[in-house]
Amino acid sequence: MLETLAWIVRRDVTIALRRRTDVFTTLIFFVIVISLFPLGVGPDLDTLRLIAPGVVWVGALLASMLALEQLFLADHRDGTLEQILLAPQPLPLLVIGKVVAHWLITGLPLVVMAPVLGLQYDLSAEALEVMVWSLLLGTPTLSLLGAIAAALTLGLRAGGVLVALLVLPLYIPVLIFGAGAVEATTSGLGGSAHLSLLGAMLLLALLGTPLATAAALRVSSG
């Protein structure tokens, strides 16, 4: 069973590596959004340091949401999703494989890129480290939650916009604790409590969301 999961991850990552533009669009979107804020707010470093955690996290939220629509769409169009639905294996497990691959393709690059962007906002090394940790724990939760919305809106005309509407309210806890972790660090309170809560949310999401996504996929493909 875990072997199948590994196969699905491997397949999706291989495909993504063969079509690199998809990976880069998400990443470039993230970079651009975050670079826009100083232009709107002004280059004052004190202000930028203050808004940095929120800006980076909102950027990550939007970027990972943008990539969601593609999560099941290609498989839906070419018929491989049908085969996954008909596989003699628990569907939630296969869903986890899809989400892990999706995170590796769209989430992990954001985590890697974030410290560089944090430097633009003059964040301290300590804050940058916490930011990476918070993103590392938080973005998989975003992908897991987002998978539900992606499955529910599969193949709909208004898919992309609808995903945003469905998923953003669910992202709020991750945003609060993710940005909160970085902010707590810069204000000297320490972000470990926030990070533990992000970890707890990741575990909960890992247990709960694949079931909902699997149910949604069955509904949407029917």
Partner 1 sequence: MYLRGPNGSGKTTLLRTLAGLLRAETGEIRWDGKPIHQVREAYHHELLYLGHLNALKEDLNPVENLRMDAAVRANPLAEDAAWQLLANIGLRGCEDLPVKYLSQGQKRRVALARLWVSRAALWILDEPFSALDVASVDALQAVIRAHLSRGGMAILTTHQEVELTSGTVCLVTLGSDLPEVRHA
Partner 2 sequence: MQNRLINWFKFSSPATFYPLARRLAPIFWAIAIVLVAIGLYMSFFVAPVDYKQGDGYRIIFIHVPASWMSMFIYLVMAGWSAIGLIFNTRLSFMMSQALAPTGALFAFISLWTGSFWGKPMWGTWWVWDARITSELILLFLYLGYMALVAAIDDRRRADRAGAILLLVGVVNIPIIYFSVKWWNTLHQGATIKMNGQTSMDETMLLTMLIMALGFWAYSIAAAMVRVQSIILEREAGSTWAQELIGERA
Binding stretches for partner 1 (CB under 8 A) = 1, 3-4, 7-8, 11, 14-15, 18-19, 77-80, 82-90, 94, 221-222
In three state form, how does the secondary structure of the chain look? Answer: CHHHHHHHHHHHHHHHHHCHHHHHHHHHHHHHHHHHHHHHHCCCHHHHHHHHHHHHHHHHHHHHHHHHCHHHHHHHHHCHHHHHHCCCCCHHHHHHHHHHHHHHHHHHHHHHHHHHHHHHCCCCHHHHHHHHHHHHHHHHHHHHHHHHHHHHCCCCCCHHHHHHHHHHHHHHHHHHHHHHHHHHHHCCCCCHHHHHHHHHHHHHHHHHHHHHHHHHHHHHHC
In the complex with partner 1, the residue whose CB is nearer, 33 or 96, is 96
In the complex with partner 1, the residue whose CB is nearer, 84 or 175, is 84
Nearest approach, Cβ of 151 to partner 2 (angstroms)?
9
Q: Which does 165 bind (CB under 5 to 8 A by kind): partner 2, partner 1, none?
A: partner 2
In the complex with partner 1, the residue whose CB is nearer, 2 or 39, is 2
Query: Which of 39, 42, 158, 188 forms a contact with partner 2 (CB under 8 A)?
Result: 158
In the complex with partner 1, the residue whose CB is nearer, 15 or 161, is 15
